Amino acid sequence: MTQDEMKQAVAIAAVEMIQPSLESSSIVGVGTGSTANFFIDELAKVKHLFDGAVASSEATAERLKSHGIPVYDLNGVNQLDFYIDGADEFNDKLQLIKGGGGALTREKIVAAVAKTFICIADETKQVELLGEFPLPVEVIPMARSHVARQLFKLDAQPVYREGVVTDNGNQVLDVHNLSIDAAVALEQKINNIVGVVTNGLFAERSADVVLMGTPNGVETLR
Ligand code: 5RP
């Protein structure tokens, strides 16, 4: 099974998981990235069962609209039962690193609102210790160097993701050389640096379920 086939398998499994709960008034939170794109394409097949979606990025909004799925502003949505998104890494506590695609802030906002966060990922994203994947940190542009200096003090190596501007008009530092055993504390510490919008650790709000694609099928981790 290729990695794309595993991504498609978890996308199908996620639709199967939420389908029984979908109603004509349901709004679904949708993440960003290649796995989320497989999910969008599968979700489109049952679009008659729900009202619309909230998108975690402009790219996701465009893909949803291209399928004829209405996209709503989160501010106008009272209830979001599900958020479905990929991850760059996940551990056995279902804590994640996200933001490889630069959409971490909106992803974190939609995940915070949703009752259930279903993470969809192939088995290559499973790790014992988070941090091999560089941790993305979204920063206000004028604070980039200040934030980088503070991150160096944590013995980490921030690298400016050149040429990338987030959907919020900000910049991204990718933090290398982290070995994260206290994910909640590190998430809070980095978020406390002035100029940080948010970082890609999803530890305070971890996933509720990970649907993990393997060559033998989809495993459900809770
Ligand atoms: C985007 C993300 C993605 O979920 C993450 O990068 C995984 O992407 P993919 O499914 O393409 O491997 O956090 O900001």
Of all residues in the chain, the percent with pLDDT exceeding 90 is 97
| 196-208 pLDDT, tens digit each | 999 999 999 999 9
Arithmetic mean of pLDDT, 27-46: 98
Residue nearest to atom 6 of ligand 1 (CA): 100
pTM of the predicted model, to two decimals?
A: 0.96
**Is the CB–ligand 1 distance for residue 88 below 6 Å?**
yes
Q: Tell me the HSE value of 117 on the side-chain side, using a 13 A CA sphere.
A: 24
Nearest Cα to Cα of residue 211 among 69, 1, 18, 2: 18
**Is the CB–ligand 1 distance for residue 100 below 6 Å?**
yes
**What is the complex's ipTM, to 2 decimals?**
0.98
**Is the CB–ligand 1 distance for residue 213 below 6 Å?**
no
DSSP label at residue 12: H
Confidence at 28, pLDDT banded by 50, 70, 90: very high
Distance between Cα 64 and ligand 1 center (Å) = 17
Distance CA 79, CA 37 (A): 23
DSSP-assigned states of every residue in 35-95: HHHHHHHHHGGGGGGS-EEEESSHHHHHHHHHTT--B--GGG-S---EEEE--SEE-TT--
| 8-17 pLDDT, tens digit each | 999 999 999 9
DSSP label at residue 180: B
**Is the CB–ligand 1 distance for residue 35 below 6 Å?**
yes
Distance between Cα 98 and ligand 1 center (Å) = 6
Distance between Cα 200 and ligand 1 center (Å) = 11
> Which atom of ligand 1 is found nearest the CA of 86?
4
DSSP-assigned states of every residue in 97-164: E--TTS-HHHHHHHHHH-SEEEEEEEGGGB-SSBTSSPEEEEE-GGGHHHHHHHHHTTT-EEEE-TT-
Distance between Cα 153 and ligand 1 center (Å) = 28
pLDDT higher than threshold 90 for residue 179? no
Distance CA 99, CA 89 (A): 10
**Is the CB–ligand 1 distance for residue 102 below 6 Å?**
yes
**Is the CB–ligand 1 distance for residue 31 below 6 Å?**
yes
Distance CA 190, CA 63 (A): 32
Q: Which of 102-106, 131-135, 176-180 has the lowest mean pLDDT?
A: 176-180
Residue nearest to atom 5 of ligand 1 (CA): 87
Of all residues in the chain, the percent with pLDDT exceeding 70 is 100
Residues belonging to the active site: 107
Arithmetic mean of pLDDT, 78-90: 96
